[in-house]
Amino acid sequence: MTATTTDVYDAAKRSAVMARVKSTGTKPELLIRRILTDLGARYRLHRKDLPGSPDVVMPGRRLAIFVNGCFWHGHDCARGSRVPKANRDYWVAKVARNVARDQRNLTDLTADGWRVETVWECQMKDREALEGRLAEVLKKSSLCGGGFD
């Protein structure tokens, strides 16, 4: 995270805006679900019994999909590398903790025999490429002894 941004809101307004950020049912998550449904996949949502509560889970395929916001999860794209000017130290530490937690969850899921895919918010811009990627993921996971969602 290197770039900085100037906030257009005062602290109270920014706090209210940030408090309204959803963690489930986001537009990127809904798009992924729509694509998976169109591809004929059956899935479960937010399995709390799995590390990190993956956004989309296909138990029969042993496939867990996380739909991550670039800013919140420290992606190496333009949006993910921005750091707000206000409370800069807080945000750098917060995102670093998120990245470390994501890595722990990935390690734990993989150790338990799950295949893990992460779809980034910035990848939503090219729906055709995203559909192709998800179709390939489903194809590979059905060849790996899965197939029953």
Chain centroid to CA 133: 15
Residue 72 in this model has a pLDDT that exceeds 80: yes
- Dihedral class, residue 122 (left if φ above 0, else alpha if ψ from -120 to 50, else beta): alpha
Q: What pLDDT sits at residue 149?
A: 45
- Encode pLDDT of 73-126 as tens digits: 999 998 888 888 888 999 999 999 999 999 999 999 999 999 999 999 999 999
Residue 2 has pLDDT above 70, yes or no: no
pTM of the model: 0.80
What structural domains and CATH numbers belong to the chain? Answer: 3-143 (3.40.960.10)
In angstroms, rounded to a whole number, what is the distance separating the alpha carbons of residues 91 and 14?
13
